[in-house]
Structure 1
C-alpha cells in the first residue's frame, strides 16, 4: 500500500468513519428515544385533560348540588304533584318564583343544553318536568326509564351524580354529542325520594380544553379520544370518529385498565404512538394518537443534515487527497524513485526543488546528501587508487629481487661449471627479461608477456635440462590483448621450483589461453606433486601475514603476489583460480578482462 492510499485510509478510518458511526449511533439513540419522550409528554397531557374534565363535571355537580340544597328541584316537582293542585294564590306565586329561580340557576351556565325532572308521583306525561325545551328530542317516558338498567344504578347511588358520555345511551340522551348527568332528588325534610334530575351539558368546555392544549404544546398533530371500557369512541375532538369502536382502527388490542399505558402500533394504517390514561372516577379512558411520521420528522431532518455534512466531509477528504496528498505523496514518490536510482548505482541524480515548504527542504537535503556522497566517493576512490598503486609497487618490488636471485644463482652455477656458451645465452635471456621488467608500464601485450616467459623457461631449461618440458599454446588473436606484466612467470616458476620437487618422472608444463565472451582465460597446468587443501589456504586473497609467514618464501610470495596484483588491478571479478590435489598436479587459471592496446577495460 503506497503512502497516498495509507493517508487517505487513515483519514477515512480516523475521521470520516468515526464521524459516521457517531452520527448513526446518535440518530438511533434519538430515534428510539422519541417514543419514550413522547410517552412521558402524552402522560402529562392526558392527566391534565383528565383534571380539566373532572373540574367541568365537578362544577356541574356543584350546580345541581346547589339546586338540591335550595329545594329548587323539589319545588319544581311539587308544581306537578297531583296532590298539591289545590294551592292557594300565595303558594302558587311562591312555586312560580321557585321555578324561575331554578331556570335562572341553569341559565347562568350556558354549557347546559337541556334539563328535565322525572317525578316519582306523576303518571304518563305528568311525570316529566321540563326545564328547557329541545327540538327534535323526545324524552324517554318515566315508565320505560324505570325498566332501564341505568335506573337501578341511579337509585343505588342514592343522590350521587351519574355521568353518561355521548353515544353510550342514545335512547336516553339523544344523538347529540352531549354529556348527561343523572341523579336522584330527595325531599330535604324527610329525605324521601321525589324525582330524578337529568341535565345535559354541551361539549363546549371539552372543546376548549383540547383547543387550549393544542395551542400551548407541541402536540398539534395529535388526535385525542374519549373511549369507554368497551372501546366505544365517545368523543373525538376532530369529530370524525364519534360513535365508532377504536378497535376497528387499530391492529393492537387494548385493555382499558386503571393507570397509564403507551405503545407503538398502527392507527388507521399509519404508524403511531398510542397512549391511554384511564380516568379515576369514571369508566372512561383518554386516548392520544400521534403519527410516528410527524414525531420523527425532526430527527429525519437531522439525519438529512447529517448525511449532507458527512458527504461534504467525504468530498473534502477526496479533494484534500487529490490536491494536497497527491502533491506531498507525489513529491515523496519522486524522491523514492531517485533513491532507487541511487541504489542501482546512479549517483548523479538530482531532485528538482520548488516551493519553500518542507518538501523543498527534503529535496534540497537529498541533493546535498548526494553531493556529499559523490564527494566522499571521489575521495575514497582517489585514496583507494593511491593505495592500490602503492600495493602494486610493493608487490613488484617483491617479485623482481626474487626472480633475479634465482636467475643469478643459476648463472653462477653454470659459470662454476665452465659452461660459457650457456652463460652467454642465459645472460641474453636475462637481459631480455630485465628489459620487460624495468618498463614503466604496468600492463604489456600478451605477446610481450610470452616472450618474457619464454626467456625465463629457457633459462630454467639450462639449469634443469632433464627436469621438465614445456608447451605454450595460445591463439594468435590474443597476442595484442593486454595483461599485467610478470603474471605468467611467477606461476611457472612455482611449478618448477615446488611442483616438480622430488618427482621420479619428467615434469611437464603446459600454458594455454583462449577468449570467452569479454574475458581471457590463461591456464598453466603441471603434472607435479600438487598441493593439499591446507597449502591451498595460503593463497587466499589478501591473507594476513600471520597466516602466510611460515611458507611465505616457499609457496606464498609468487602465487599470492600475482593473485593480489590481479585482484587489485582488475577488480573482484578477475584473478587466480587454483585446482590441485596431492600427487595429481596443479592447474592455475588466470582470468583477465579482454581488451587490446589503447582500448578500455570493464572493471
Structure 2
C-alpha cells in the first residue's frame, strides 16, 4: 500500500515538482561540494607538500651540519699514534697502565681540538680488540651498559660492514619488541670503525651515544612541527629518531606508504635523503585538519542547502495553493461534464497557463455541443435516407415491366433468356434486400449489370451498355446502392424518352489521385438551370421528411435521388464530390473520391 501510495504521489504535479526540484538542486549541490572539496584537498596537499619540502630541506641541512661535526669527532682517533703503528696494548703487559694513560691523554688533547658542543653526547668510547681504551661520560645519569659484551650489540656487525663509514643505529632493535610497543628514540648510537693500516687485523671502534633532546629543541626552534612530525631512519629502515612516538607497525607504514595512520590521526608523508650520510628524513603532515575542513565544508553546504530547501518549501506551499486554486475549477468543470452537464463553462483562472486550458475546455464544450447537434441531425437524415432507400430501391413499375417481359419471354419460348433474366432478378433482389451499409465496388458493378440486363429486356436494341472496372478497383469499399439512383435516373430521364438507340457507359478508374465513378449516356439530356432548381427544392423538402411534399417527391425521384447520393457521399467522405453535367451529346454523372480516403474490402464475392 505504501509503495502504491508513493507511486501515486510521484505521478502528481506536486510529486513531480518536488522530485524535479530535489534532483535539479541536490545533484548539482553534491557535484559542486565534491569538486570544491577535491579542489580544497588538492590545494591543501600542494601546500602541505611544499611545506614538507621546506621542512625536509631544513632538517636535512641541520642534520648534515650536526653530523659533519660528529664525523670530525669520530675521525679524531686517526691522529692518535696508536692507530698508526703496529703497537697493540695487552692488559698483561707491565707497561699497559702507562700506555693506557698516555693514550687517554693524547685522545683528550685531540678531542679538545674539536669545536663540537658535547651537550647531546651522552658518552663516547674507543674500543680496540676487546679493550675500552678511552671512555668519557658526558651525562652523569647515563650508564654505559653498551661497553659490556660489545660484540653482541646490534650495531657491532653493521659497523664493521660499513668499513669506516659512520653507522647510525637505534637504541633498541624494533625486531625484538612487540608491534604495538612504542620505540625508544630518546637516544641513538653513532659508531665508526677505525682502521689501522699497519695492523689490519686490529678491530677498533669509536662509539658515541647521542641524546635526541637537542634535536627536539632545534626542531621546535625552527617551528617545523606544526601539524607535522619528523622521523629519521637509517639505510636499513631502522628508526633513529622521531618527534612523535611510534610503534614498529607505524614505522612500517611510514616506510611503505605515502598516507598512513599514526597516533590516532591520518598523515601524509614525504621522504628526503641526506646528502652525505645514509639517512632518510621523513616529514609527515597531519591530514586531520584537511578532514575537518572538508567536514566543515560539507556541513556548511548541507546547512545552506537545508535552509534553501526550507525557503523553497515555504514558497512551494504558497504557489501550490495558487496553482490548486486554478486546478480545482477545472476539475469541477470536468466533473459536471462527466455528469452530463454540457452547458457548463469554466471561469477565468488566475494562472495564465491554466486559463488557456480553461479557454480550450470551453471551446471543447462548445464544439462537443455542436458535434452532438450535427450528429443528431445526421442521425435523423440517415433514418430518412434509410427510409428513402427502402422505398426507392426498386420502382414498382420497373418490377411490373420486368414481370411482363418474363411473361413475354415465356410465351415466345425464350427459356434460356428467361432463365438468365430470372437469375439476374434474383441477384438484384438479394442485393437490394441486404442489410449491409457498405459493399465492394465489384459487387456494386455486378448489381448494376444485373439491373441493366433487366432494363435491356424492355428496351431491347434501344439500349446498349458497357461497364468498365479493372480488377484492382473491385475490392474498394463503397456505400451500397450508391450508383443505382444515378443509373436509374439516366435510364428514366435520358434513355426512356429517346426514340433512337441509346448507349450507357459505367466507368470506374483512377485519375489524378482520385477514384472516378462515371455514368455517361447519350439520351435526351436535361436543362441545367431546371435541374439546379429541382435540386434546391429537393434539399428544402428533405428538411421535413414527414411532410406530404417529401412523400410526393419520393415518387418522382428525380432530384431527390441525386440529393441523397450527395448526402451519402458526405457520410462516406467529406472530400467526395458529385458532378452532373452535359458534355456535348452526353449526360455525365461523375463521382470523385480522393485515393487517400478509400478503403478496401477483405474479400470480393
Instruction: Specify if TM > 0.5.
Output: no
Q: Which has the larger radius of gyration?
A: 1
Please, what TM-score do these two structures have when normalized by structure 1? 0.45
Please, what TM-score do these two structures have when normalized by structure 2? 0.44
